[in-house]
Structure 1
Amino acid sequence: MNELQSDGFGAFAVSDSHGPGPRLMGADTLIGNSVVNHQDEDLGTILDIMMDVRAGTISYAVLSYGGILGIGDKLFAVPWDALTLDTKNERFTLDVAKERLEASAGFDKDNWPHVADQTWGKDARGGNGTQASALPVS
């Protein structure tokens, strides 16, 4: 893409896009976006987006929940395909009850899971809840 095709905010015009928003977006435009559930309850913000470089795909988003100004928050690995971009409100929707986040262990910023471990990645994607850091998503 060249600069003429970009809107200057990381969103790129793509003629074959069939969705409500741009098909290609810069990751930096998504990091920091809020996440809500279908009951419009605040679930936190997108802290990071983790890519599988070898496969060329987004593996999961890191959801930051709770805390104040990044202190005391819990982090969760959320499968990328579990998030729905709400372009009208510039946020994501995730089908998870707020109580589930509160009850889940998550991980903190100083103790990230060993992401090279194939088991951890599978658990984060599958949402089977066997890893505290992976958010079970139905």
Structure 2
Amino acid sequence: MDSAELVKADDSSVEHPLIPAKRVNGADVFNQAHEKIGKIEDIAIDKRTGKVAYAILSFGGFFGLGGKHQPLPWSVLTYSEEDSGYVVPITEEFLALAPKLDISELSGWDDTTSREDFHNYYGEYGVRPYW
């Protein structure tokens, strides 16, 4: 995929750079081979700064049962117009070993003790801390 086909979430060259959260939720997530690996279940926003901290990726399972949830630092996502979704530069194996989040933690989640782990894990992909 040509880098011109990918648009970083903060790229000002996008014709319409803002998107409502309800359109992000449910968006497909692909690996760099354009294979769907999951969807964005939700986003986590730092309520003090207003910055999007994580996209909560849901993957696996069958008809909503047994799926897993993975917080992805927002800066690892790149929007692809070609895929009409987000592309991440990670493999399924990398994702399987990543720090996880239980779905019950989404409401009122406090990442102050774990955010370093999440960002360090994705560090090789140029992830920038949101804080």
Number of aligned positions between the proteins: 114
SS in 1 for 2:32: coil
> Is this contact kept in 1: 2:99–2:117, CA < 8 A?
no
- The aligned counterpart of 2:9 is none
CA drift at 1:37? 0.7
Gaps of 5+ in 2: 1-11, 126-131
Larger Rg: 1
- The aligned counterpart of 1:59 is 53
Structure with greater helix percent:
2
Partner Cα separation in structure 2 for residue 50 and residue 65 of structure 1: 17
Partner Cα separation in structure 2 for residue 137 and residue 28 of structure 1: 30
CA drift at 1:86? 1.1
Q: Equivalent pairs: percent with the same residue?
A: 29
Q: Out of 9, 13, 33, which is 1:18 matched to?
A: 13
> Is this contact kept in 2: 1:62–1:77, CA < 8 A?
yes
Higher relative contact order (CA 8 A, sep 6+): 2
Partner Cα separation in structure 2 for residue 108 and residue 54 of structure 1: 23
Partner Cα separation in structure 1 for residue 35 and residue 111 of structure 2: 33
Structure 1 residues 110 and 136 mapped into 2: Cα distance closer, same or farther (>3 Å)?
Answer: farther
Structure 1 residues 75 and 88 mapped into 2: Cα distance closer, same or farther (>3 Å)?
Answer: same
Gaps of 5+ in 1: 1-16, 129-134
Q: Out of 42, 45, 59, which is 1:48 matched to?
A: 42
Shift >6 Å, 4+ stretches:
none
- State the TM-score, normalizing by the size of structure 2: 0.73
Instruction: Compare 66-75 and 104-113 and name the one that shifted more.
Output: 104-113
Structure 1 residues 69 and 127 mapped into 2: Cα distance closer, same or farther (>3 Å)?
Answer: farther
Partner Cα separation in structure 1 for residue 107 and residue 124 of structure 2: 18
> Is this contact kept in 1: 2:34–2:83, CA < 8 A?
no
Partner Cα separation in structure 2 for residue 127 and residue 44 of structure 1: 22
